[in-house]
Structure 1
Amino acid sequence: MPRKAYECSACNEVHKFHHEAERCCQPDVGEVWLCDICEEAHEDKNDATDCCANSVKAKGVDTVRCPNCYRDQDLIRHAFEIEVAGHCSECNPHYSIDDTFKIDDLISQHLEDVAFGLA
């Protein structure tokens, strides 16, 4: 889950606490969201959530072969797409609404596990 942080609007330095950002250069302070994996600042929470979701490698598995296109996939997003829907988004980017929610929930859970060192 992305964490809220505060960005100094004068120098763009990111601070954990609002009062630190206020004291930095005495400017207006903007809220940003930090990616759980790389801690890059994003203006939108969804952007922070999706930041590293496509780049996290599947742990414990070298690759997962898509049964539809026979590509070997090593990204966790593709592994969950194959697990839930039976194909990756490279060969067929269309999923049912239920499958989309399931895939996104699995990715979110995995990213939380990675952030807390459980995965």
Structure 2
Amino acid sequence: MSKLIQLATHSSARGDLTVFEKILPGEIKRAFYIYNVESPTQERALHGHRKESNALIALAGQCRIFVTNGEEETYFHLTAPNECLVIEPGDWHIIDNFTKETVLLVLSNECYDPSDYFYDRP
């Protein structure tokens, strides 16, 4: 099941530096970001992956992610750039409640493969 983790952050008078390392299995093969979501009721994702793992980080703004694997279901809230939601293979998810300034970074350990997606909620 997906899990929310706190990323290591080093703060000083010069600002904050947050580190992402050794979070996903394997290597990061794909990155993309979601932004300019006009309505907080707009839903994104509505799918899961058979083998891919994702890490979601709200670099700016906030959003909510609903996750289910058919046995458990949970809402996660990303509210700070040092929070990372790791979505495991088999977890189906919806992203919503975007604030206007949200920039959501998604890192993946697989290249895009349409056959890895499933759309039916477990």
Query: Does TM, normalized by the shorter one, top 0.5?
Result: no
The structure with more helix, counted as a fraction of residues: 1
The structure with more strand, counted as a fraction of residues: 2
TM-score by length of 1: 0.20
Which protein, 1 or 2, shows the higher relative CO under an 8 Å CA cutoff with sep ≥ 6?
2
Structure with the greater alpha carbon radius of gyration: 1
